[in-house]
C-alpha cells in the first residue's frame, strides 16, 4: 500500500502539471506548522527560479487547479505568502485510507522487494563473567533491530557471539587449580572419563572469576599461570577442555535464564571458540595471497585508506607469540558465517568504543576476500548508559551493576508504583510489574538514538506519565478496557470502519495512524528503533486527547460509535505491533 505522503504528492504533481509546471515540484511533506495545516508543499518556491515568476503566483495557480480536482485528497489547499501551499487532508480520503489499512497485510506496510539474508550479531556476553549493564544495551537494541529486519520480510538470524575463549577461562582454571588441586582435571596422567557433574555451581563460578581476575593484577606469577592455562586450553589439554565444557554448560544455562527475562532470543548460540578451527588456514591464505606480512614479529594486514582522516592502524592477525586476537576471531567468524548462512548483510550491535576494531575487521575481510564483495557490514555502535551523575552507571557502592540486580530493582519499583495506583493481589501485581518494568527498561533505552549516551533514571523510566514505556502500556490497557466494556455491553462490530473524523482530536489520531508504514520503513532503513518510539508516543498522545474529548461508550449514534470502536481497534493493534518490534508487550490490566 502506498504511503500517504506518496499519494498526496502524486496528486500535487498532477496539480502542478495542470497548472503548466513541471510535476517534480509537487513534493509534499508533513507540515512544519501543524497549527496552520497538516501537509505542505514548497515546490512553488523552487519553481519560481526556473519560471521567473513570483512564487505566490505559481502557488496560487496550482491551488486553483488543485481545488477543482476530481475526488481530491485534500479538503482545503491554500497558497500563502511567500509561496507555500498549505494542505488539509480530506476526511473521506483519510477514512478510506485507514479502512484499507485494516484489510491490508501488515496494515499496508510494504515488505522489501528483495529479501536479504541478514545476520545480527548482538548480545556478546562473556561466558563466566556476570552479565553487566554494558551488555544490556546490546541485547535490547539488537533484539529490536532483529525483529524490525524480520518484519520487513528479510531472512534474519540473531547470533549471540559469546566471548568464550579468552583469558577469563585460563583465570578460572588457574584459580580452581589453587583451590582444589586434587581434582582429576589437573592430573595430566589421568586417562579415565571426567565427571559429568561440574565441580562448581554458577554462584561459585561468579565468585571465582572476579577473585582470579583481581589476583592476576597483583600477582605476576599467577598471571603467567593463567596465560599458560589459556594457551594449554586452546591447544587442547584434555582436563582443561573438560573444565571448559562445565563452565560453558553452567554459564549458558544462566545466560539463557537472564536473556529470557529480557525477552531476548537468539537463533545461534555461537561463540569465539567455534571459529578457532578456521584460523590456521585463514592466516596461511592471507599470507599466501600477499595480504598478511610480518611486522615486528606480529602478522598484520594493512587496512589504511587514502581518504582516512583518522589513522587506521594495520589489522593485527597474530601476535608475536603466535596467539590469535579479537580481530582474528571476528574475521574467522565472518568466514564461518559465509559457510553456514552466506549473509547479504551483517549488523553488529556493539559498544561504540569498539568502532575502530570493526573498521579494521570490515576492511580486512573485504580486502582479503573473506566476505563477498557485495556484502554490507554495518556497525551499529551504541553509547554508554550513565547514572544521574553522568558517569557510567554503577551500584550504590560504586561497583559494576549486575544486570540481574538492575532488573530486580526496576521490577520492585514498578510493583511499588502499581500497588500505589490501585489495590492488587500480590501475585498478579508482581506479574504485571515484570511486564511493565521490562517496557520501562527497554523503552527508556530505545527511545534514545542508539549512538548517544543516556542517563538511566529509574524514576523517570517507571513513570506512568511522559515519554515512557509505562505510559505507552497504560494507553494500550486503557483501549483494551474500553473495548472490553463495549463487547461486554453487547456491542457488535462486523467489519471495522472508522468515521469521517468529526472532531479535531479524532482527525489528529487518524492522521497519526496513517504514518505506520512509513515509520516502520524508516526505522528499518536507518536501523533506528527510536523512530518507532517517537511514533508510538505521538499515537498515544493523540489517542489520549481523543479519549478525553470524546464520549465513546455513551455515543448515541450507533454508526458513529462503531466508527470510534474501529478507530480504537486500529490504534491498539498498531501500538501492539510496534511494541512487539521494540521487544516488549502489554498486560491486560495495570
Ligand atoms: N564480547 C564482546 C565484549 O563484551 C562483544 C562481542 C561483540 N561482537 C563481536 N562480533 N565482536 O566486548
Ligand 1 atom with least separation from CA of 162: 1
pLDDT digits (tens, 9 = 90+) for 335-375: 999 999 999 999 999 999 999 999 999 999 999 999 999 99
pLDDT in tens, 100-115: 999 999 999 999 999 9
Cα-to-chain-centroid distance, residue 246: 32
Task: Check pocket membership of 129 for ligand 1, CB cut-off 6 A.
Answer: no
* C-alpha cell recorded at residue 211: 577473585
Edge to edge, the sheet with strand 376-382 lists: 155-159, 117-121, 345-351, 376-382
Cα pseudo-dihedral 497, 500, 542, 476, rounded to 10:
-10
Q: What is the mean pLDDT of the chain?
A: 95
- The residue contributing the CA closest to ligand 1 atom 3 is 124
Q: What is the atom index within ligand 1 of the atom nearest the CA of 333?
A: 10
Residue 330 Cβ inside 6 Å of ligand 1? The answer reads yes
Q: Which residues contact 533 (CB under 8 A, 6 or more apart)?
A: 443, 446, 447, 467, 582
Q: pLDDT per residue over 394-403, tens digit each?
A: 777 777 778 8
What's the pLDDT score for residue 396? 72
Does residue 328's CB lie within 6 angstroms of at least one atom of ligand 1? no
pLDDT at residue number 399: 72
79 touches ligand 1 (CB under 6 Å): no
Mean pLDDT computed over 32-50: 94
**C-alpha 163 – ligand 1 centre gap (Å):** 7
pLDDT at 19 over 90: yes
Global pTM reads 0.95
Q: Is the minimum distance from the CB of 146 to ligand 1 under 6 angstroms? A: no
Band (pLDDT 50/70/90 cuts) for residue 527 is very high
The pLDDT confidence band at residue 129, using thresholds 50, 70 and 90, is confident
- Residue 314 CB burial class (10 angstroms; 0-12, 13-18, ≥19): middle
Identify the DSSP state of 284. H
What is the pLDDT, as a whole number, of residue 56? Answer: 97
Q: Which domains does the chain have, with CATH numbers?
A: 4-89 (3.30.1360.70), 167-261 (no CATH)
Amino acid at each position: 500500500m502506498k504511503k500517504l505522503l506518496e499519494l498526496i504528492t502524486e496528486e500535487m504533481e498532477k496539480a502542478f502539471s495542470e497548472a503548466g509546471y513541471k510535476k517534480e515540484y509537487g513534493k509534499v511533506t508533513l507540515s512544519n506548522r501543524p497549527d496552520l495545516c497538516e501537509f505542505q508543499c514548497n515546490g512553488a518556491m523552487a519553481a519560481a527560479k526556473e519560471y521567473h515568476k513570483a512564487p505566490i503566483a505559481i502557488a496560487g495557480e496550482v491551488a486553483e487547479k488543485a481545488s477543482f480536482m476530481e475526488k481530491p485528497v485534500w479538503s482545503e489547499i491554500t497558497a500563502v505568502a511567500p509561496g507555500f501551499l498549505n494542505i488539509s487532508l480530506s476526511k473521506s480520503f483519510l477514512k478510506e485510507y485507514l479502512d484499507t489499512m485494516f484489510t491490508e497485510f501488515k496494515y499496508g506496510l510494504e515488505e522489501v522487494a528483495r529479501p536479504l539474508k541478514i545476520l545480527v550479531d548482538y548480545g556478546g556476553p562473556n561466558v563466566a563473567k556476570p552479565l553487566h549493564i554494558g551488555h544490556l544495551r546490546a541485547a535490547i537494541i539488537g533484539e529490536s533491530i532483529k525483529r524490525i529486519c524480520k518484519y520487513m520480510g528479510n531472512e534474519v538470524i540473531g547470533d549471540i557471539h559469546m566471548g568464550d575463549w579468552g583469558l577469563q577461562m585460563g583465570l578460572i582454571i588457574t584459580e580452581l587449580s589453587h583451590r582444589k588441586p586434587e581434582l582429576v582435571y589437573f592430573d595430566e596422567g589421568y586417562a579415565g572419563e571426567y565427571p559429568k557433574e561440574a565441580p562448581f555451581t554458577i554462584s561459585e563460578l561468579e565468585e571465582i572469576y572476579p577473585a582470579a581476575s583481581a589476583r592476576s593484577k597483583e600477582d605476576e606469577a599467577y598471571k603467567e599461570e593463567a596465560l599458560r592455562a589459556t594457551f594449554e586450553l586452546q591447544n587442547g589439554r584434555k582436563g582443561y577442555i573438560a573444565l571448559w565444557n562445565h563452565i560453558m554448560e553452567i554459564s549458558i544455562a544462566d545466560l539463557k535464564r537472564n536473556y529470557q527475562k529480557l525477552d531476548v532470543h537468539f537463533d545461534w548460540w555461537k561463540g569465539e571458540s567455534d571459529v578457532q578451527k578456521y584460523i590456521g588456514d585463514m592466516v596461511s591464505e592471507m599470507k599466501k595471497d600477499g595480504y598478511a606480512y610480518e611486522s615486528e614479529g606480529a602478522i598484520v594486514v594493512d587496512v589504511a585508506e587514502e581518504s582516512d582522516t583518522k589513522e587506521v592502524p594495520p589489522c593485527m592477525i597474530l601476535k608475536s607469540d603466535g596467539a590469535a586476537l579479537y580481530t582474528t576471531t571476528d574475521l574467522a567468524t565472518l568466514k564461518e558465517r559465509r559457510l553456514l548462512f552466506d549473509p547479504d548483510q551483517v549488523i553488529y550491535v556493539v559498544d561504540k568504543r569498539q568502532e575502530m576494531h570493526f573498521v579494521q575487521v570490515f576492511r580486512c575481510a573485504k580486502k582479503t576476500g573473506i566476505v563477498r564483495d557485495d556484502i554490507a557490514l554495518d556497525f551499529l555502535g551504541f553509547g554508554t548508559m550513565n547514572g544521574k551523575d553522568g558517569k557510567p552507571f554503577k551500584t550504590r557502592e560504586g561497583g559494576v551493576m549486575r544486570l540481574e540486580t538492575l532488573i530486580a530493582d526496576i521490577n520492585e519499583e514498578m510493583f511499588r508504583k502499581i500497588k500505589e495506583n490501585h489495590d492488587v493481589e500480590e501475585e498478579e501485581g508482581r506479574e504485571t510489574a515484570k511486564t511493565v518494568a521490562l517496557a520501562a527498561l527497554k523503552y527508556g533505552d530505545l527511545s534514545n538514538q542508539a549512538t548517544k549516551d543516556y542517563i538511566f533514571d529509574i524514576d523517570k523510566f517507571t513513570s506512568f506519565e511522559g515519554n515512557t514505556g509505562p505510559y505507552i502500556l497504560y494507553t494500550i490497557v486503557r483501549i483494551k478496557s474500553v473495548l472490553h466494556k463495549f463487547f461486554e455491553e453487547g456491542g457488535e462490530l462486523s467489519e471495522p470502519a472508522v468515521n469521517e473524523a468529526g472532531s479535531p482530536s479524532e482527525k489528529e489520531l487518524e492522521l497519526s495512524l496513517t504514518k505506520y508504514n512509513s515509520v516502520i520503513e524508516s526505522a528499518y532503513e536507518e536501523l533506528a528503533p527510536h523512530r518507532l518510539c517517537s511514533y508510538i508516543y505521538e499515537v498515544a498522545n493523540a489517542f489520549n486527547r481523543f479519549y478525553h474529548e470524546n464520549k465513546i461508550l455513551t455515543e448515541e449514534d450507533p454508526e458513529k460509535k462503531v466508527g470510534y470502536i474501529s478507530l480504537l481497534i486500529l490504534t491498539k493493534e498498531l501500538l501492539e505491533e510496534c511494541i512487539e518490534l521494540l521487544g516488549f508487550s502489554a498486560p491486560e490490566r495495570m
